[in-house]
Amino acid sequence: QSVLTQPPSASETPGQRVTISCSGSSSNIGSNTVNWYQQLPGTAPKLLIYNINKRPSGVPDRFSGSKSGTSASLAISGLQSEDEADYYCAAWDDSLNGYVFGTGTKVTVL
């Protein structure tokens, strides 16, 4: 089972802001960088945010990340219908010597 905990779902109307939380521990989020991935139905995951708050080329600035202690958050502002997807946080875990993913959050645009 995953060591990073996310809410199973989040929803908001178009144009609004939605925030997804990711709770970890001192061995992962607390000591290492956090990344976020977006997965559209039937497709491979896509890197959305790396190193807590950096966006790869091509990712809109509507997506932003933050970290505080052993928790991290992904915010999506100006929500659009194409943002409907599953979102996963991830980090390296020093105790497990492995990369861990969050439980995933399904975002629905109402």
Distances (CA, A) of 69 to 22, 34, 45, 53, 72: 11, 11, 26, 15, 8
* Residue number with CB closer to another protein (29 or 109): 29
Return the CA Rg of the chain: 13
Nearer to another protein, 16 or 108 (CB): 108
State the binding string over 75-94 for another protein (x if CB under 8 A, else -): -----------x-x-x-x-x
Span interacting with another protein, options 18-26, 67-75, 76-84, 97-105, rule CB under 8 A: 97-105
Is the separation of the CB atoms in 22 and 35 below 8 Å? no
Residue 82 beta carbon to another protein: minimum distance, rounded to whole angstroms: 19
What is the spatial distance between Cα 12 and Cα 88, in angstroms, rounded to a whole number? 18
Tell me if 76 sits within 8 A of 15, measured CB to CB: no
Kindly state whether residue 102 participates in binding another protein, applying the rule CB under 8 A.
yes
List residues binding another protein (CB under 8 A).
2, 31-33, 35, 37, 39, 44-47, 50-51, 56, 86, 88, 90, 92, 94, 96-104
